[in-house]
A and B are shown apart, each in its own frame.
Chain A
Amino acid sequence: MNYNSSPTAPLNFLNHKTGLWSWLSSTDHKRIGLLYLYSITIFFCAAAVLGLLMKIEKFAPGETIMTAQTYNGIFTIHGIIMIFIVVIPGLAAVFGNILLPIMIGAKDVAFPKLNLFSWYVYITGACLGLYSQFAKGHVPDAGWTFYVPYSAEVNSNIVIALTAAFVLGFASILTGLNFIVTIHRMRAPGMTWFRMPLFPWSLYATAWIQILATPIIGITLLMVIAERTLQIGFFDPALGGDPVLYQHLFWIYSHPAVYVMILPAMGVVSEIFPTFSQKPIFGYMPIVFSSLAIALVGYFVWGHHMFTSGMSYQARWFFSLLTFLVAIPSAIKVFNWLSTMYGGSVDLKPPLLYAISFIFLFTIGGFTGLTLGSLATNIQTHNTDFVVAHFHYIVFGGMGFGFFAAIHYWYPKIYGRMYNIRWANIAWAILFTGFNVLYFPMFILGLQGMPRRYFDYDPKFQTGQMISSIGAFILIIGLIGMISNLVYHVRRGAIAPANPWHGVTLEWQIPSPPPHENFDEVPVITRDPYVFDNPYTK
């Protein structure tokens, strides 16, 4: 180990080995995290462009730039990429990989080779997803939910898309497995469970969902594949099967998957608020237990996606009640984050801007979630643009802004350089404005009765649709501004100190970028995670 032998150019995980192969074969958790970051960014940009195309189509009623069938294909692939390739791996695979071992004082995850393998599984799945678009035949058009009987009958490349989702689920399982074992077995001496920072805690809760929910969708997708290829008709009414059963199985996974997306984002902002308020987190224990409660109760609320599918009244009642209960731990967290800022020395830097907008957007998404979780109002808003607006506020406004907060927070740690703060602030303002202009009108459109997944609409919706489409352009400009700032300064940014934000968790106690094996000597933890008066270790 001689990575810090030269004081002028210390070796770190980015430069201790060079060449493409040293990246593709690296079992270093930080490099694997970056591999995920780059692949996810590419797919995110592609899917964002597809989203923009949909909004251009909806700028005016009637066929604008694409046919109905093209539109169906585009919303399907937009959903598949965004959900399975970008958002579900998102924070856990990128920032979980890069930071989880460092934050708990470990040299790496428990199974480094498995970790690298999971990235290859992920890339295989992602490529299969792309292949379903370009393979001979029709592009998949069943939506990312693959509802039967349509997905079992339609003549398009559904089987390839289903296989892609199955493979991507496997990658997600391996990441979750690795994190649980890492957190149980690799914590540094003195790092007791309740001295662990909140981001690892949220990853722990997430990992359990990844392990225990993903297999259900795996087998469900296999059953649809069997239905298409072997004519086993589990979900085909013509053979005695039950399409509603598919919806049950699908949402047993896909609702908890929403918490796979949002829990790590909650973990990220739980790191950011104490640092930028220079004040211990308010209510550490409630945040920990609300993460666990969300993971647990979130497992039992899947039926609220199916209120109009003909479920029994008792089941609808039950799922609605649990949906209201699962909102409580989220609300607890919001109160704790706000209380953390109260009386602190708040430093309004880009990470905090994104974290605060996370709360704003997540709260709107959460409250409209309750609207959808109530039986009566759900009937009115089911399958309208209201739903689309709601889950974009949660998934993009929540997980997406959490992701942007994370990248702005840990960027100097990862690259050892700083982005342009002013530039980042301006990009944030454009992005935040564009987001609300794009999605807020969709709440109103949905309440007025605009159905989702339609490429055309009644001219009376045109004002709302137009505002929303303009918002899409503003949003894309904001995204370009944000990403170009980050990309440009990876090599050209000012050298960042080891601890630019005066954070106190372990990752800020080591050089930036972190050395290859994170710690020269194993840290010994003697205090709680968010104590601000003096350095954390020793």
Chain B
Amino acid sequence: MKNHDNHISSYSLNLTVLLILLVLTTTSVLAIKFHFGAFTVAVALIIASVKAAIVLTYFMHLKFENLLLRLMVSGVFLLFAIVVVITFIDYYFR
């Protein structure tokens, strides 16, 4: 159970990350006031993905983990994206 040479992320880094996340949240709430039409979903999802990436990288310490774990996480998200795309090959052309 011993934890060696783990990177310690400082309090201030965590606070900065939170502030960025809050700014992004505000942006996405405000963004719906402007009507992007069909792009509203895209804008909201892009902002959400950026937020998710920040949480994964800093709060979940992926930045400080080994390459293997980072590859696994990206692979899993990629796999899910492919599954959604394939499902829509059916629904989009139906």
Contacts and interface: CB of A to CB of B under 8 A. Distances in A.
B81 interface: no
Interface string B61-94: 0000000100000001001001100110111111
A299 B92 CA distance: 20
A252 interface: yes
**B interface secondary structure, majority:** helix
Contacts of B86: 300, 303, 315, 318
Contacts of B90: 244, 248, 303, 311-312, 314-315
A314 B79 contact: no
Interface in A275-328: 299-300, 303, 310-315, 318
Contacts of B87: 248, 252
**A interface secondary structure, majority:** helix
A232 interface: no
Contacts of A314: 89-90, 93
Interface in A243-269: 244, 248, 252
Nearest to B94: A312
A248 B87 CA distance: 7
A332 interface: no
B93 A212 contact: no
A184 interface: yes
Contact of A313 (B76, B82, B83, B93): B93
Contacts of A299: 79, 83
Contacts of A184: 68
Nearest to A317: B89
Nearest to A306: B90
Can you list the 3 inter-chain pairs with the closest CB atoms, starting with the nearest? Answer: A312-B93, A315-B90, A314-B93
Contacts of A311: 90, 94
Contacts of B83: 252, 299-300
B90 to A, nearest CB: 4
Interface residues of A, number: 15
B73 to A, nearest CB: 12
Contacts of A312: 89-94
A212 B75 CA distance: 11
B89 to A, nearest CB: 5
Given A184-B68, A212-B76, A300 B89 contact: no
Given A184-B68, A212-B79, A315-B90, 11 more contacts: A248-B87, A299-B83, A300-B82, A300-B83, A311-B90, A312-B89, A312-B90, A312-B91, A313-B93, A314-B90, A315-B93
Interface in A171-200: 184
Interface of A: 184, 212, 244, 248, 252, 299-300, 303, 310-315, 318
Nearest to B87: A248
A345 B91 CA distance: 55
Contacts of A310: 94
A300 B89 CA distance: 12
Nearest to B86: A300
A316 to B, nearest CB: 8
Contact of A315 (B76, B79, B82, B89): B89
A184 B82 CA distance: 26
- Most interface-central of A252, A303, A315, A318 (chain B CB within 10 A): A315
Nearest to A309: B90
A300 B90 CA distance: 13
A314 B86 CA distance: 10
21 contacts: A184-B68, A212-B76, A248-B90, A252-B87, A299-B79, A299-B83, A300-B82, A300-B83, A311-B94, A312-B89, A312-B90, A312-B92, A312-B93, A313-B93, A314-B89, A314-B90, A314-B93, A315-B86, A315-B89, A315-B90, A318-B89
Contacts of B93: 312-315
A216 to B, nearest CB: 8
Contacts of A300: 82-83, 86
B5 to A, nearest CB: 17
A370 B81 CA distance: 27
A303 B83 CA distance: 11
A394 to B, nearest CB: 23
A152 to B, nearest CB: 21
A311 B88 CA distance: 10
Contacts of A313: 93
Contacts of A303: 86, 90
Contacts of B92: 312
Nearest to A316: B90
A184 B67 CA distance: 13
A195 B54 CA distance: 38
Nearest to B85: A300
Nearest to A244: B90
A257 B64 CA distance: 34
A112 to B, nearest CB: 15
Contacts of B94: 310-312
B85 to A, nearest CB: 10
A248 B86 CA distance: 10
Nearest to B68: A184
A299 B94 CA distance: 22
B88 to A, nearest CB: 9
A366 B59 CA distance: 47
A212 B79 CA distance: 9
B47 to A, nearest CB: 25
A244 B89 CA distance: 14
Contacts of B91: 312
A310 B93 CA distance: 11
A57 B89 CA distance: 42
B27 to A, nearest CB: 31
A312 B93 CA distance: 6
Contacts of A244: 90
